Amino acid sequence: MMTRFLTALPVYNEAKTLNAVLDAVVANCDDVLVVDDGSTDGTTELLRNRKDIIRLDHVNNRGYGAALMTAFDFAMREGYDALVTIDCDGQHEPRLIRSFVDLLEKSGADIVSGSRYLVERDATSAPIERRRINFQITQFLNARLKLQLTDTFCGFKAYRVDALSNLNISENGYAMPLELWVQAACGDLKIIEAPVPLIYLDEKRSFGGNLDDGDTRLKYYLDVIERSLAALPGGCQKINSV
């Protein structure tokens, strides 16, 4: 039985939504970790005023993937049974946290990944470029890794903590989930998806620098997948050739 679970939020410059999101998360989870990834907009000061969370700080901004890896390490070190990750931009629903943990336990899965596209009617409300890139990357990963994902990039996930030791993630940026999928497939981890609402509060949210250009972002994602595949040990049977 998963008696102890942690909810972790990677945070970078989320002052506008921070307290509202954290109020909802702490109402649905006893143990809440926030990884402050070098925020400069007042987020750090807001976090210091909260006594209902655990806070870990990156002095400098290291990236979304790096913040998640800090959460992974903390969950393993502190002996949690399950780790839920949720973004802090208001686009996830904390009321679903407990159901993700329950599904993780009942299904025997190693990863329960939220999908905004598992229910097809939700897909039409996604920004066109983001939906296109997500679809292309998801199809590519499914073909290469023999997976059946519908949403590659949703940050709402639940992990069985004892499965995290099978991962050796090195991608610090937004493409970290792609390296995770490659390693999870090769490690034969059991992955299932669960539907989550598709909510876009800020359709023009920046990815930072030249990644705001869709074609550049797509190339970056594909490069990370190819590097991750190339780094796999020989003999991984989950990989299809192209």
9, containing H or E segment: strand 5-11
What domains lie within the chain, and their CATH numbers? 5-230 (3.90.550.10)
Q: Residue 128 class from Cβ within 10 Å (0-12 exposed, 13-18 middle, 19+ buried)?
A: exposed
Contact 169, 128 (CB under 8 A): no
Which residues have a Cβ under 8 Å from the Cβ of 28 and sit 6 or more positions away? 7, 94, 95, 97, 98
Q: What is the dihedral of CA 108, 73, 13, 113, to 10 degrees?
A: -10
Model confidence pLDDT, tens digit, residues 10-52: 999 999 999 999 999 999 999 999 999 999 999 999 999 999 9
Contact 2, 82 (CB under 8 A): yes
Task: Output the pLDDT for position 213.
Answer: 75
Which residues have a Cβ under 8 Å from the Cβ of 77 and sit 6 or more positions away? none
Beta bridge partners of 31: 6
The count of other CB atoms within 10 Å of the CB of residue 152 is 26
Task: Output the pLDDT for position 236.
Answer: 72
pTM for this entry: 0.91
β-strand pairing of 31-37 with 5-11? parallel
Q: Residue 147 class from Cβ within 10 Å (0-12 exposed, 13-18 middle, 19+ buried)?
A: middle
pLDDT, block means (10 residues), the chain with 242 residues? 89 95 96 98 96 97 97 98 94 93 97 89 61 91 94 95 94 95 95 86 58 82 93 72 58
Give the span between the Cα atoms of 21 and 90, in whole angstroms. 6
In whole angstroms, how far apart are CA 113 and each of 7, 83, 226? 14, 12, 22
Q: Concatenate the DSSP letters of all residues of 8-59 into one string.
A: EEEESS-TTTHHHHHHHHHTT-SEEEEEEES--SSHHHHHHT-SSSEEEEES
Cα R_g (the chain), whole angstroms: 17
Whose tokens are 């990834």? That residue is 37
Give the span between the Cα atoms of 19 and 26, in whole angstroms. 10
Task: Output the pLDDT for position 89.
Answer: 87
Give the span between the Cα atoms of 44 and 80, in whole angstroms. 25
Q: What are the two backbone dihedrals, phi and then psi, of residue 158, each rounded to the nearest 5 degrees?
A: -125, 135
